Amino acid sequence: MSDKRKDKKEGKGLGIGALLSNINPEIEQPVASGVNEIDLEHIEVNPYQPRVDFDPVALAELADSIRQHGLIQPITVRRLGGEKYQLISGERRFRACKLAGLTAVPAFVREANDEEMMEMALIENIQRQDLNAIEVAITYKRLMEEFSLTQELVAQRVGKKRETVTNYLRLLKLPETIQLALQQGKISMGHARALVGIGDFALQMGVFAEIIEKDLSVRQVEQLAQRYREAAVAPQGKAAPAIKLPLAHQDLQKRYAHWLSTRVILRRAPTGKGQMVIHFQSDDDLNRILDLLGNGEE
């Protein structure tokens, strides 16, 4: 095995500290052993930034703090050439400095190619405490897809258990409506994990509607999910007979469940006859659904 291939293989399990220290010593450029003052106009944002949403209120508060005390934690950049730099990490601080009216910012300067920069940015963001669960899950997925990593290797890179990585990745199987609710804090990670365990799209939407309507606890959702799973099994322990819906009908069931934000079930007999069942949780919920359906008015 060549030295180059050996180095690449041995680097598979490296954490963020090792990645950040993996610079080219032959290039005589400032590195992280010192802090440089760099003009803000010479820094461009990181195109690989995993985070796209920045709370404007929190950003304004950070800007106020920077005006009073300066930037305590430097950002990290890489040199592009000449006086041009690119952010590796610290975009929130970078934006706040601009908002605070600063013209220059303290920064560590690293040497990194595009791949190293992207991985550092992803891992640096995943270790933050303020990422929501979906942002974490998306970052894990990007690490796997863009660097051909297994869940085990991702876990090693970010210092987490493999089960933790798996649990986050499973959240991406949830309907978009539920993922958005998780991002917005309307439901917790515990709620989302219980919904993932249900599996069926229509059932997930039905239980989700109950969570919002009744403000269910995680424990209540787990119990409800368990009852739904048990109801799908015949008393003798054998799976209840069912006619498999054609793909077109399955798609229709999913689209209506998503549109109405509730559980929708299509049943179809071999003759082609069937029924559509739309669930509601209360009179208010029924009125909401009727409004969406147009109350039967022409």
Residues with a known catalytic role: 91
Place of tokens 């950070």: 62
State the DSSP code for 243: P
Could you give the CA distance from residue 157 to residue 17 in angstroms, rounded to a whole number? 10
Q: In angstroms, what CA-CA distances link 39 with 43, 101, 246?
A: 7, 12, 61
Is 72 exposed, middle or buried, given 0-12, 13-18 or 19+ CB atoms closer than 10 A?
exposed
Q: How many CB atoms are closer than 10 A to CB 264? A: 23
State the DSSP code for 171: G
- The residues, ordered by sequence, that sit 6+ positions from 175 with a Cβ below 8 Å of its Cβ are 201, 204, 205, 208, 257, 258
